[in-house]
Amino acid sequence: MQLKVVKFGGSSLSDTEHFKRVASIIKEDPARRYVVASAPGKRTDTDEKVTDMLYTCYNMIRSREDITDYYQKIVDRYTDIICGLGLDFDIMGELEYIKNAMMARSGRDFAASRGEYLNSLILAKYLGFDFIDAENVIFFKDNGEFDEEKTNEAMKNELKYHERAVIPGFYGSMPNGTIKTFTRGGSDITGSIVARAACADLYENWTDVSGFLMADPRIVDSPLPISTVTYRELRELSYMGAGVLHEDSIFPVQKEGIAINIRNTNHPEDAGTLIVPNSHTHESKQVITGVAGKKGFSVINIEKNRMGAEFGFAARVFRCLDSYAIHTEHLASGIDTMSHIVSTSELNNKLDDLIPELHRVTDADNITIDTGLALIAVVGRGMRESKGTAARIFSAISGAGVNVRMIDQGSSELCIVIAVYESDYERAVKAIYNEFVNG
Ligand code: ASP
């Protein structure tokens, strides 16, 4: 029999109605055996996520404020769900224990993690599934890094004892037993960890959208959905700001070659987006899979005659940038020029020292900084097979009256990155999308 790991995000578990919807999705397919749950998300635009409320409690305790009234709102969220489901489940003892533990300073991550813990207890009870506490199967190292292999072994062992189970997302434990969370949205990573350990046939990630769109809907009107995307394409798109899935959640399933299916809890009839290991199994019908981008970049241009003939030139530049904690996001080079694209926020207040230091280590003829840039990534595994893609992209951009500041195409031919001025960003994205979708 097939085995699926299903993860439900906070918006899918925000209230009684959503719990019922989730339960019917799970019960509809017996392969959905392991469930990862987030904390209750927002019920309306103005509502608060339980995780945010728990962080607020933690901050209030630190500043010695009384949390009684505020904590009651969290208690109400859970008791409303339990009553609405008609469950015979007394959660008051747990809620009291958590409040006391927070007051006894059990840590910020402990506080934040309780949203997932409580929601998973309720969901397990409602489904009649076992409950596996993530603190016993997900581990971090002393330096705070996720301990992949120890986790995989422990998770594998534990799953053997459970035919069906609910596991809270977002957290695990440190070697000293204290609770540690992943970064925000980390339940996606937990789902991927469970899918790897269970050797699942599929990891379904249920959220409130029907997968990825080919472009940002705030820029392009009703962009087409992406039906299939490879892990590598997704890495490029999410680095450039295409949200929906935590970017680290690819890694555990990648080890086992398990596909991820993004699905919509409110529209279970939609197929969503399938994220697959490689393109061999899923040929792309479209030349480009998606267009994504971000503003807030600058370029450091370094010019020096015959720089290419100097051993260690690039290494000196990188070492200097490292010492100022500046990452090179993209690099373009000519015979006598080198352009480092960096995030403008990393340059803040450093330029007065950085430029003289770069001059000192490189003896460059000229160093200039250009700010106010946006990067656009045109991503598509179909680009390799089709001639003239770059020509189409650039004629679309120039047709829209946009000046290209820099181009970077990796040798994998999976992604072309284009730098434009921020004021041209939206126009360029629209032009590229229209060229490939409506052209
Ligand atoms: N509840 C956590 C957050 O709001 C983790 C998650 O939902 O994935 O970030």
List, for residues 202-243, the tens digit of each pLDDT value: 999 999 998 889 999 899 999 999 999 999 888 888 776 667
Residue 251, phi then psi, degrees to nearest 5: -60, -50
Tokens 């934040």 correspond to 112
Of all residues in the chain, the percent with pLDDT exceeding 90 is 82
pLDDT at 283 (0 to 100) = 62
Nearest CA-CA partner of 313 in 295, 293, 290, 336: 336
Shortest-distance atom of ligand 1 to CA 115: 1
User: Is pLDDT at 408 greater than 90 in this prediction?
Assistant: no
User: Is the Cβ atom of 207 under 6 angstroms away from ligand 1?
Assistant: no
Calpha distance 8→132 (Å, rounded):
16
Superfamily of domain 290-438: VC0802-like (3.30.2130.10)
Lowest-confidence segment of 118-132, 346-360, 396-410 by average pLDDT: 396-410
Instruction: Output the pLDDT for position 280.
Output: 61
Q: Is 114 in the pocket of ligand 1 (CB under 6 A)?
A: no
Cα-to-centroid distance, 50 and ligand 1 (Å): 9
* CA of 265 relative to ligand 1 center, distance in Å: 17
The predicted structure's pLDDT at residue 301: 96
Looking at residue 388, what is its pLDDT? 87
Q: Compute the mean pLDDT over every residue in the chain, rounded to the nearest whole number.
A: 93
Ligand 1 centroid–CA 41 distance in Å is: 8
d(CA 66, CA 257): 49
State the distance from the centre of ligand 1 to the C-alpha of 185, rounded, in angstroms.
4
Which has more confidence, 175 or 438? 175
Q: Is 41 in the pocket of ligand 1 (CB under 6 A)?
A: no
For the cut 80, the answer to whether the pLDDT of residue 146 exceeds it is yes
| 64 touches 36 (CB < 8 A) | no
Give the CATH number of domain 4-208; options: 3.40.1160.10, 3.40.47.10, 2.160.10.10, 3.20.20.80. 3.40.1160.10
In angstroms, rounded to a whole number, what is the distance separating the alpha carbons of residues 214 and 15? 31
List CB contacts of 335: < 8 A, sequence separation 6 or more: 306, 307, 308
- The residue nearest atom 6 of ligand 1, judged by CA position, is 185
Residue 281 has pLDDT above 70, yes or no: no
**Ligand 1 centroid to 226 CA: how many Å?**
24
Q: Is the CB of 11 under 6 A from ligand 1?
A: no
Q: Which atom of ligand 1 is nearest to the CA of 185?
A: 8
Pairing state between β 337-343 and 290-303: antiparallel
Average pLDDT over residues 297-306: 95
Residue pair 318/328 in contact (Cβ under 8 Å)? The answer is yes
**pLDDT recorded at residue 241:** 63
The pLDDT score that the predictor gives to residue 426 is 97
Task: Establish whether residue 223 lines the binding site of ligand 1, counting it when its CB lies within 6 angstroms of any ligand atom.
Answer: no
Q: What percent of the chain has pLDDT over 70?
A: 97
Domain residue extents for the chain? 4-208, 290-438
Section 171-193 average pLDDT = 97
| pLDDT exceeds cutoff 80 at 159 | yes
Give the number of the atom of ligand 1 that is nearest the alpha carbon of residue 186: 8
Atom number of ligand 1 nearest to Cα 170:
5
> How many A from CA of 213 to the centre of ligand 1?
22
Residue 381: predicted pLDDT: 85
